[in-house]
Amino acid sequence: MLSKKDIFQTQDMIDKRHLDIRTITMGISLLDCADTDVHACARKIYDKITRYAENLVSVGQDIEWEFGIPIVNKRISVTPISLVGAACRDDSLVPLAMAMDAAAKEVGVNFIGGFSALVQKGCTESDWKLIRSIPEAMRCTERVCASVNVGSTRAGINMDAVAEMGRIIKKTAAVTADNDGLGCAKRVVFANAVEDNPFMAGAFHGVGEPECVLNVGVSGPGVVYHALQSVKGQSFDVVAETVKKTAFRITRMGQIVGVEASRRLNVPFGIVDLSLAPTPAKGDSVARILEEMGLQVCGTHGTTAALALLNDAVKKGGVMASNHVGGLSGAFIPVSEDEGMIAAAEAGVLALDKLEAMTCVCSVGLDMIAVPGDTTAATISAIIADEAAIGMVNSKTTAVRIIPAPGKVVGDRVEMGGLLGSAPVMPVHPESSEDFIARGGRIPAPLQSLKN
């Protein structure tokens, strides 16, 4: 029998600690939409997405009511468009992005991911076309997210693609300069990208996935923060145990919502992504959890160790609560989307170098970071290369979502609005990486033994 305490504790988590389902994301295969004519392909894409995802939002809303738990985002991921559009004879794949955008608006989802290319070993003609279509696609669509996987543990790092992505990011910022380079917030560069990630901007529907699938991303930094407040001063054994128990509860909720949604939509249930995804709301911050462990400000010495513990305990607690765990599964540290990270960066305590170290022990990478508008393409490429190297060597996913905000300098703030939040512009090293990036080629895949 349920106790009153259990019931009111759950409601308290939802009302006061920002407990929610962050996203239910429907993955849809578009492989059968290929066509030599880009406009015919676009039509097929629009038709298929609107057909499959017709009821996604209304089913999501019904479940929100029945379980009394908010499902913040309903989203869609599709097959990487560089594969779908490979048969198109046209030079630009932008019409396909526009079809995705129109379909997203029609079914009422706020983001659609999959304007993507997987180029860890090399680029096909179609991959280059897609990469070069990104700036224009980001300019003329509202809800489309793009991603490019430039490296993997098995393939190494494609440095030609890394160099090109530096230029593409600069161009994307330039063409969306009216919005402080907002286009860059919807585009991410990966190493070891996963095929079943429900979170944006990096979601796409991998080729190993079924025709259609439903993945769920849970969240709850506020709940973990609150739980840790009750174990002040106690040992790390207690801290880890507390995080595990909390993660278990959060994940169970994701599991039940995911199973119910997939049953009603008649789509197989994929995975629960066990991530702590912060929002700009006060009390929903990963940085504040680290500070609760005893750090004065996130970014000071000890931050990496605190994050390592948090990340591991979340996985350990969550893994037993769900029958299929996948996606990125770890703590996110997006600067602009985390009230505590913003404060730490503005105080000058959290620097890019420390963030890079933190990405070695958590999901995902340098996320939602604003840098000065005059940062060169080569420097951005070098930042991507560093992050990809961390992912490659540690067999984990890493990503870079960086915004060289046009006209902004260190100390300014970039406002992106909504869940994307606002980012203080952070300094980068002024010394050049030009010659390093100009080399091109591939960084070979690392040895998987002799690990030290």
Partner 1 sequence: MKAIVTVVGKDAVGIIANVCTELASYRVNVLDISQTVMQGYFTMMMVVEVSTCTVALAELCRVMDAKGQEMGLSIRVQREDIFEAMHRV
By CB under 8 A, the residues from 234 to 263 that bind partner 1 are 249, 252-253, 255-256
Task: Provide CB contacts within 8 A for 321, sequence distance 6+.
Answer: 247, 248, 249, 250, 251, 252, 255, 272
Q: How many CB atoms lie within 10 A of CB 45?
A: 29
Note whether 83 and 126 are within 8 A (CB).
yes
- Apex 288 CA angle, 230 and 279, nearest 5: 115
- Per-residue buried b or exposed e for 166-204, using 16+ beta carbons within 10 Å of the residue's own CB: bbbbbbbbebbbebbbbbbbbbbbbbbbbbbbbbbbbbb
Q: In whole angstroms, how close is the CB of 108 to partner 1 at the nearest point?
A: 17
Cα gap 202→208, rounded to integer Å:
17
66 lies in the site for partner 1, by CB under 8 A: yes
Phi-psi region of 450 (alpha: psi -120 to 50; beta: other; left: phi over 0): left
Q: Which is nearer to partner 1, 58 or 395 (CB)?
A: 58
48 lies in the site for partner 1, by CB under 8 A: no
10 lies in the site for partner 1, by CB under 8 A: yes
For 119-186, strand residue ranges (E) read: 144-152, 156-158
62 lies in the site for partner 1, by CB under 8 A: yes
Cα gap 269→261, rounded to integer Å:
8
Q: In whole angstroms, how close is the CB of 260 to partner 1 at the nearest point?
A: 9
Q: Which is nearer to partner 1, 4 or 89 (CB)?
A: 4
Q: Which is nearer to partner 1, 108 or 427 (CB)?
A: 108
Cα gap 107→127, rounded to integer Å:
28
**H or E element that contains 22:** strand 20-28
Q: Which stretch binds partner 1 (CB under 8 A): 6-14, 41-49, 135-143, 413-421?
A: 6-14
Q: Which is nearer to partner 1, 80 or 254 (CB)?
A: 254
| Residues touching partner 1, count (CB under 8 A) | 21
Q: Which is nearer to partner 1, 7 or 410 (CB)?
A: 7
Q: Which is nearer to partner 1, 241 or 356 (CB)?
A: 241
Out of 50, 57, 67, 443, name the contact with partner 1 by CB under 8 A: 67
2 lies in the site for partner 1, by CB under 8 A: yes
Out of 7, 207, 238, 438, name the contact with partner 1 by CB under 8 A: 7
Residues in contact with partner 1 by CB under 8 A are 2, 4, 6-11, 61-63, 65-69, 249, 252-253, 255-256
